[in-house]
Amino acid sequence: MAAFESHLGKYTNTARLFKLVSGMSEEKQFILLKTLLSHNVANYLFQLIIEMSEDQQTQLLEQMTQMSHNVLPANTISLDDYESSMRENPRKPCLVKVIGVVQDQTFKSYIVDISTVGVFIETSNNYAVGQSIKLTFALPGQKGPMKLAGKIAWMGLQGIGVKFANLTDNHKKIIRDFINKR
């Protein structure tokens, strides 16, 4: 077995690391990511930009140019608005499987953060701001999936921000409990 593992070399380490990271809570995964990036956030962003398609780079360049002139595109949210919403409605980083339906088209993805007001979903699909969306997902520890309706509040390069519509008190409690859980 040891000879086989030494033959695999870095792939053995990669598999072990993958197993360890997969076993961590989402919160610990985000802490690990922050630790790994330390003060190299710009380098990490540059790497992500390099990996983007030319169309994505062009779109990002247009958005950043507008931001530098204090004019935000209609489908983005300002940092001040984002920070304000963070204070009013705490968000929790997570990695939760979600099934979304927009205009009878179904997609599978991940919720990467959640609040009692909405979620951010990682997707490369293009949707229009204001479109209705139906979401089905289960938070960790929840017995069954929640089926929630919402509207696409904003669109970015990495995904969509969804604002919940008609959230019941029970759903708010489930989400609030998840956010407050350490």
Question: Quick check: 41 pLDDT over 80?
Answer: no
CA–CA dist 125, 34 (Å, integer) = 27
**Average pLDDT of 126-147?**
92
Q: 54: how many CB neighbours lie within 10 A of its CB?
A: 7
Residues 130 and 42 in one domain: no
Residue at 44 is within a domain = yes
Exposure pattern of 92-104 as b/e (b: 16+ CB <10 Å)?
bebebebebebee
Counting the structural domains of the chain, the total is: 2
Domain assignment of residue 12, given as a range: 2-51
Residues 85 and 175 in one domain: yes
Q: What is the pLDDT of residues 14-34, one digit of tens each?
A: 777 778 877 877 767 766 776
Residues 117 and 163 in one domain: yes
Which among 145, 113, 146, 144 is positioned nearest to 26, based on CA atoms?
A: 113
Residues 136 and 84 in one domain: yes
* pLDDT band of 58, cuts 50, 70, 90: confident
